[in-house]
Amino acid sequence: MKELRTDLADLKDRSNLEDKQDLLERISDIQLGKTAVDMHGFRVRTDNYVLRPLPNMLQLLNITKREGGPDAGISSFEINDTFNKNLPANYMDVKTAIKGSVNGITLKNGNPDYWLKIETAAIRNPHGDVILNEVGLSDPSWNSASSMFEQPFNETFKINTITKWSHDYSATFVETYTDNNPAGAVTTTVTASDPALPYTVTPSITSDNAFLIKTTFADNTFLETYRYYVNDSGVVQPLTLDKYAQTLRMPNLNWEIVYKATEFGTRTIDLLIIPEIFSHLF
């Protein structure tokens, strides 16, 4: 088991990732994969896994292997969720419950049962570009004023090792959130230990049928996340505001998610994802 955990933790090593993929297929709880064509016309193999590296950890992993083009090679998207205690046999129910619960806390008989302690997300391309988000959460506590459990957190967001913003719950902070909606902008202001941490998120639908979320950071750099809906032949599906929900419900579509950032220059991170595993993240 120790060797298995070491292998899973070593997925950043691209030199032997294809060898490790055989291991992943043997020990994964859920594995969805296919060979398809991306929107640029290149052949792509996408493999998507749900794994249990540790009894109290849930890992979601996408491996995109592209045969040609500027992003030829292996790109990946990895989410690691560490919970307060070992997960039950039906642990995916816990993840589903967290999605719809208060502040990410699963409630059982009115009291917290399972909750997140640590969540890390890492997105990589073959060129060494990395988007890294790390969240550490405290144990939940009851707020009598709001009549709900609260879970303070620390969070750091980095692009290529450069911290773009962070959040420290030990400092005085003010947060303002507006729901993501394709028709309007979202502004989030964070004032924490570093005063220069506001960022603005603007969602839109582009002329080439992508759902775009553009994040502009305090240093005037940006991160753009494009989500395309493509079939296995690489044909991008039309996407308009009036047909947005209809497109989301169309079966057998892949998500091609493209990340562009100031730090990447002309490079991108381009992933082909099977949405059944990752849909709650986007």
149-186 per-position pLDDT tens digit: 677 778 888 999 998 887 776 544 444 333 333 444 44
Q: Are 50 and 30 in contact (CB under 8 A)?
A: yes
10 Å CB burial of residue 247 (0-12, 13-18, 19+) is middle
Place of tokens 């792509």: 44
In the chain, DSSP assigns E strands to 30-37, 43-51, 57-66, 73-83, 105-108, 111-124, 130-137, 141-143, 148-150, 153-159, 162-167, 186-188, 199-205, 211-216, 222-230, 254-261, 269-273
Alpha carbon distance, N-terminus to C-terminus of the chain: 32
What pLDDT is recorded for position 74? Answer: 97
Q: Are 188 and 217 in contact (CB under 8 A)?
A: no
Average pLDDT over every residue of 96-114: 51
What pLDDT is recorded for position 119? Answer: 92
Tokens for 130, please give them.
Answer: 């990395």
Average pLDDT over every residue of 184-194: 43
Backbone angles phi, psi at 247, to 5 degrees: -65, -40
16-34 per-position pLDDT tens digit: 444 555 544 544 567 888 9
Which stretch of 27-31, 55-59, 189-193, 218-222 has the lowest confidence by average pLDDT?
189-193
Q: Tell me: pLDDT of 205 over 80.
A: yes
What pLDDT is recorded for position 3? Answer: 44
Q: Are 219 and 197 in contact (CB under 8 A)?
A: no
Q: Tell me: pLDDT of 191 over 50.
A: no
Share of the chain above pLDDT 70, in %: 61
Q: Are 116 and 107 in contact (CB under 8 A)?
A: no
Q: Tell me: pLDDT of 249 over 80.
A: no
What pLDDT is recorded for position 192? Answer: 40
